[in-house]
Amino acid sequence: MALAIPQQAPWYLVPLRFVRGLLQGRRFPGVALFILFFLLILPGIFAGFIAPHDPIKGSLSARLKPPMWEKGGTSTYPLGTDKVGRDVLSRIIHGARVSLRVSLEAIIVSGVIGTTLGLLSGYFGGRIDAFIMRLVDISLGLPIILVALVFVAALGPSFGTVIAVITVLLWARYARQVRGETLSIKERDFVARARVAGASHFRIMFRYLLPNVVNSLIVLATLQVGFVILLESSLSFLGAGIPRPIPAWGLMVADGRELIVTAWWISMFPGLAIMLTVLALNLVGDWLRDRLDPKLKNV
């Protein structure tokens, strides 16, 4: 039920108008982009300049300092310190760089692989389509945690292992999306005219089909960034992701789980960073989908 507010609303109804804008999705992109810029992008790029302390080195004399607004806190450590005296704020800032790097590398690798296989599957069909789709079904059916543990046992925890695990689990989503759109686009007249003109299969796929699926790829990639950050944090929390002492949001949550009652800030602030980042990315992805999908643009 819509919330009716007159155009010339009194000042005390302004908050209600803002809430209505949120419910209708009008203000989500601006708020979400603001959160992403100051919580993920800016810290990820300039972490070395923004962070007030070294994220790895700690001081035992400053261990378990509460946030500065709590009793015993200090402005030197605005969000407190962990059990070995490392600054929580500095580790969150550097953890944004880890999340940004893992997300970009994993999405680029899985996107290239999935898009290429999706184009091949949808364009050629037949046995090629059947073979690639069976691989997609197998990939989508793999248990995430079990695959991660197998990779860690075989290769050891590292950036490369995390990216390999995420790529194995993510490429199939791109392949299925691109394949479905390719099946529709390849039947259009401009593709038939390209065949008559003597264009090669490679040229048809990457000159005529690929540009028509780019919008969907942008939306899917935006939505997958949040999934990748959440997955990387979950793997790091379980010890199958980023190795210590590299600052990662999932590792920080894991480090504070035993002290959640007495030192709640160790887990709460990185957990809050994960929640806000994933939520903002999902909102931006939904907004992009509404703007780039011609079926939804005019609704």
CATH code of 287's domain: 1.10.3720.10
Q: Mind listing the pLDDT tens digit for each residue in 189-221?
A: 888 888 888 888 888 888 888 888 888 888 888
pLDDT > 70: what percent of the chain? Answer: 87
Residue 273 lies in a domain: yes
Q: What is the mean pLDDT of the chain?
A: 81
Q: Mind listing the pLDDT tens digit for each residue in 117-126?
A: 999 998 888 8
Rounded average pLDDT over 29-54? 80
Residue 289 lies in a domain: yes
Residue 145 lies in a domain: yes
Kindly calculate the radius of gyration of the chain based on its CA atoms and give it in whole angstroms.
23
Statement: residue 251 has pLDDT above 90: no
Residue written as token pair 């070395």: 48
Lowest mean pLDDT among 75-79, 88-92, 144-148: 144-148
Q: Mind listing the pLDDT tens digit for each residue in 145-187?
A: 788 778 777 877 788 888 888 888 889 999 999 998 898 888 8
Q: Which two tokens stand for residue 60?
A: 């035992």
Rounded average pLDDT over 86-109? 89
- Which is more confidently placed, 195 or 23? 195
Rounded average pLDDT over 81-106? 89
Residue 84 one-letter amino acid: V
Residue 53 lies in a domain: yes
- Which is more confidently placed, 225 or 290? 225
Q: Are 29 and 287 in contact (CB under 8 A)?
A: yes
Statement: residue 94 has pLDDT above 80: yes
Number of independent structural domains in the chain: 1
Residue 21 lies in a domain: no
Q: What is the pLDDT of residue 25?
A: 46
Q: Where in the sequence is the domain holding 142, given as residue range(s)?
A: 29-297
Rounded average pLDDT over 92-111? 89
